[in-house]
Structure 1
Amino acid sequence: MTKQTRLPRTTPEAQGLSSQAVIAFLDAVRERNLELHSFMLLRRGEVAAEGWWAPYRPEYPHMLFSLSKSFTSTAIGFAAAEGLLSVNDSVIGFFPDDVPEQVSENLAAMQIRHLLMMGTGHAADVTGSVQKDDHWVRAFLAEPVEYAPGTHFAYNSAATYMLSAILQRVTGQSLLAFLEPRLFVPLGMSEAAWETCPRGIAVGGWGLSVTTEDIAKFGQLYLQRGEWAGRQILPRAWVDEATSFHIDNDDGRANDWTQGYGYQFWRCRHGAYRGDGAFGQFCVVMPEQEAVLAVTSGLGDMQAVLDVVWAELLPALSDAEAIDPNESVQAELAERLAALRIDAPQGEASSPNESQLEGCVFRLESNELQLDTIALRFSAQGAELVIGNDRVGDQTARLGRGAWQSSRIRIDGIKQGAEQRAEGSFSWKDGSTLDIRLLLAETPFTYALALRQDGRELELQISANVAWEAGRVLTIRGRTAALH
C-alpha cells in the first residue's frame, strides 16, 4: 500500500505566473463551454493553481482512458533498465505458443519499440478486432501486418496491450503490481486500479484510474527527467527517448495530434509533450516553461482544451522566479476556484405525476444497455432510482431535487462493473417529463434520462455528455410490471 503524499502548494505569483492568467484560463473554459472536471498546474515542482468542478473532488480517482498508455510505457522503461527486456526484442519471441502457423516477414520484424511508437505495421487500429477474441495476444498476432514495422503510424491500443502482456510474461507480475514499488510508492501516489482482459492481463492502453494529483506527479517525474526527491528512479535516458519524436503522424492538420509520436507520448506544439486520454484526460509537460498541467474532463473536443492552454497559460509562464502579487486578484482567483461546479439541471421541483410513478416497476424491452427494470421512489428530500440488471443486480441511486445526492452503484460495462461513486439529481420538465442526471464522479460520463409515463407505458430516453457515438439518444420503452 502506498503512503500518499501531497505536492507542495504555492501561489501563482510565487512561481512567476499571474493569478489573472489563471482567471483568464477559467474564463476561456467557461466561454467555450468546456466541461473540465479538474486541473492542476505545477510550476517548478509546486502546485501554482488547482481546481475541481464539484461534485468532483481531489480524492476521487478518474478514468484515464489512453493516458494509461504513458504509464505502460514507463513500466517498459523500468523493465529495460533492469535488464528484463530490450526495446529491440522481437514481439513473437515472447509468445512462441501463440503465433500463427504462417509468420509473415513483417510480423517477424515487429519489436517492442514498434509497439511503443505505434508503428507496428498494421494499416489501422486492430483493437476492436482483437477484443472479439478471449485470447487477445493470439488475436493480435493473427492480424495482418501490412507495412514494415516502424514505417507507418497507426494509433493502436492493442499494441499497448501487448506491452502489458510482455511485461507480465517476463516478470510474472501484473502491470500495476510491477509499477507499485517502482512508481507509485516513490511518488506517494494513491491506490490505483487497472482494468484487465478476459485472461486477467492489464489492458495497458486504457483502464487505469488515478487522481488528478497522481497525474501531476507523473508529469513532474518526466519533467525532472526521472528524478524524484533527489533520487533517479527512472533512467534519464529513458525519459529522453520516450518523449522524443519517433514516428511521423502528420496527416495535414495543424493541431496537436500531428506533431509526431514517441513511446506512448504525443509530441505537442510549443516544444511540449503529453499523455492524453479520450474525453479530455491530459498530462501536459512543458519543459521550456518548467511546468506540468494535469486535466480531467468530460468533453469531445480535446484540441479545444489545448488551444486554451496555449492561448491563456503558456504565454503567462514568465521566466521570472516570482512576480509581485495583486492581493485583490488573488482573492478573486481563490473565490473563483472555490465556486467551480457542475450544476444539477434546474426545472420544476415536483409534479403531480410523481404519485403516478410512485410504486411502479417498469419492465423494459430488450436493449443494448441490458437494463431490465426501472422504478422510482419519491420523498420530500428527493428520490431513489432503482435500476434492475440481471448481471449486476438491482442498483439504487439517490437523486436530489435540483441538487446532487451521492450514492454508490454498479453500471455494467463501465470500469468492469465495479462499484463507483454516482451523483444524482432530478427535476420536472413541464410537469410531465422527469429529467434525471447521473454523474459518475470517477469517470467522464454524465447520463441524462428522460422519463415520460402514459398510463402503464413508459418511454425512457438515455443520452450522455460524451460517447463514442456523439449525440446519440437511446430510446427504450417499458410497461408496468408490478405495483408495490
Structure 2
Amino acid sequence: MNVEEIVKQYTKKKVNAFLVVQDGKIIKEYYKKAEDAIQLHKINSITKSITAALIGIAIDKGYILNIETPLNHFFPTLPENKRSLTLYHLLTMTTGEKWEEFGNGSGVRFPSFFVKSKNWTQYVLKRPLLECPGIKMNYNSGSSHLLSALLQNITGMSTRQFAQQSLFAPLGITQYEWEQDPQGVYIGGFSMKMKTKDMLKIGRLFLQNGNWEGRQIISSDWIRQSTIPHFKTYEHIGSYGFHWWVLDRKKFDVPMDMYFAMGYGGQYIIVVPELNLTAAISSCMPRSGLIPLRIFIDNLKQ
C-alpha cells in the first residue's frame, strides 16, 4: 500500500485526518491541522454501522432472538401489510418502502421529509410499501433509526447508554456526541461526532473479529455476517452487508477484498483483511465524498 502517495493526494483535498493501523501498529497518522487530532468530527452515516454493531451485541446478550425476528415483535403498531418485515430487512435496507434518499445512486438527498416529521419512528413504520421486502436494497436512514428505537424498547436503556456500556467503554471511547429525535431516541442513521482515532478503533474491532484485548465484544459470526455482500447495490460504491459496504474483487475493479463504513462528505472506516489493515478518514467534502475512497483504493498494491 502506497501510504505516502495517499497522504500526498489527501493534502490537496479537504481531508482533515487519515490514520492507518497495520499488524496492530500505527503506520500513518496524518492531520491537516494539529487540532484535527482531538476534534470531534461529524461521522454522519458511519453512525449506521455502529448502530448495526449494537444490534449484534444485543443478539449476543439475548435481548433479541435472531435477525429473522419479525418487526411487529418490537413495534406492535406496525401496519398489517408490513407484518412480513424482519430485523434482517432493516439491517440490509430491503424493506421495500417508498424512500428517496440516495437518488438511485446518483446523488445523496438528505431525508428532510423524515427529519421534519413529529415522530420519526412512527413516520418510518407508516411508510407505504412499493415492492416486496427482501428483493432490493434502497438506502434508508429510517431503517437505521428503527434499529435504535427497538434497542431502546428492548434493553430498558437509551441506545447511547447501551453503546457506552457494551461498546464504547470497552474500546476506551470516552468523548463523542450523539443527537436525539423529538421523542428522545438516539438517531440511528446519522448525527454522531467522534474522534478519528476512535473511528479507527471500531475498524480494528471488526478486523479482529469482534475481539478487543482478549475480550469478545461482538461475536465473530456477527462480524462475518455484517461484512459479506448480501445485496448488490450501487455500481459506483459496492455491495451491502449489515450497514457496512462491501467491495470484493470478483464483482468490482479493486485489487483486494475490503469493506467499509461510509459517512456523507468523505468519512470512512476501511478494513482490508488481506493486509491486516484498518484506516479511518475524516473529511469535509460534501459534493465529492467518494474521492478519499477512490484515492485509497487506487493506491492499494496486490
The answer to whether 1:277 aligns with 2:257 is no
Match of 1:120 in 2: 95
Matches of 2:217 and 2:164, distance apart in 1: 13
Q: Take 2:10 and 2:194, find their aligned partners in 1: how far apart are those partners?
A: 23
AA aligned opposite 1:140: V
- 2:7: which partner in 1? 26
1:297 is aligned, of 280, 283, 287, to 283
| 2:211 counterpart residue number | 227
TM-superposed deviation, 1:199: 0.3
Matching residue of 2:28: 49
TM-score by length of 2: 0.89
Structure number with higher helix proportion: 2
Contact kept? 1:125, 1:157, Cα under 8 Å: no
Contact 1:247 1:260 in 2 (8 A): yes
Counterpart of 1:171 (choices 155, 179, 182) is: 155
**Structure 2 partner of 1:136:** 120
Seen in structure 2, the aligned counterparts of structure 1 residues 201 and 214 have a Cα distance that, compared at 3 Å, is: same
Q: Which residue of structure 1 lines up, in the alignment, with residue 83 of structure 2?
A: 108
| Residue identity in the other structure for 1:111 | T
Check the 8 A contact 1:267/1:274 in 2, yes or no: yes
Alpha-carbon contact 1:37-1:56 (below 8 Å) kept: no
**Aligned runs of 1:35-434 on 2, under 5 Å?**
35-54=14-33, 56-85=35-64, 86-96=66-76, 98-100=77-79, 103-104=80-81, 107-125=82-100, 127-250=111-234, 253=235, 255=236, 257=237, 259-268=238-247, 269=254, 270-299=256-285, 300-312=287-299, 314-315=300-301
User: Do the aligned residues in 2 keep the contact of 1:125 with 1:158 (CA within 8 Å)?
Assistant: no
Q: Which runs of 5+ in 1 are unaligned?
A: 1-16, 319-484
Q: Is the 8 A contact 2:19 2:26 kept in 1?
A: yes
TM-score by length of 1: 0.57
**Aligned AA (2:289):** M
CA–CA distance in structure 2, aligned partners of residues 155 and 238 of structure 1: 21
Offset of residue 123 of structure 1 = 4.0
Aligned to 1:338: none
Letter matched to residue 88 of structure 1: E
CA distance in 2, matches of 1:165, 1:46: 37
State how far apart, in whole Å, the 1-side matches of 2:147 and 2:278 are. 26
**Between Structure 1 and Structure 2, how many residues are aligned?**
284
CA distance in structure 2 between the aligned counterparts of 1:46 and 1:280, rounded to whole angstroms? 24
Give per-residue Cα distances to partners, 1:397-425, cap 9 Å, x unaligned: xxxxxxxxxxxxxxxxxxxxxxxxxxxxx
- What is the alpha-carbon distance in structure 1 between the residues aligned to residue 46 and residue 148 of structure 2? 14
Contact 1:130 1:136 in 2 (8 A): yes
Measured after TM superposition, the shift of residue 23 of structure 1 is: 2.6
Contact kept, 8 Å, 2:71 with 2:78, in 1: the verdict is no
Alpha-carbon displacement from aligned partner over 1:286-341 (angstroms, at most 9, x marks no partner): 011110110000012122212211222x21xx8xxxxxxxxxxxxxxxxxxxxxxx
Q: Percent identity over the alignment?
A: 29
Secondary structure (helix, strand or coil) at the match of 1:65 reads coil
Alpha-carbon distance in structure 1 between the residues aligned to 2:167 and 2:60: 14
Report if aligned partners of 1:150, 1:247 keep a CA contact under 8 Å in 2.
Answer: no
What corresponds to 2:107 in structure 1?
Answer: none
Aligned 8 A contact 1:194 1:202 in 2: yes
Larger radius of gyration: 1
Find the aligned partners of 1:51 and 1:190 in 2 and give their Cα distance: 22
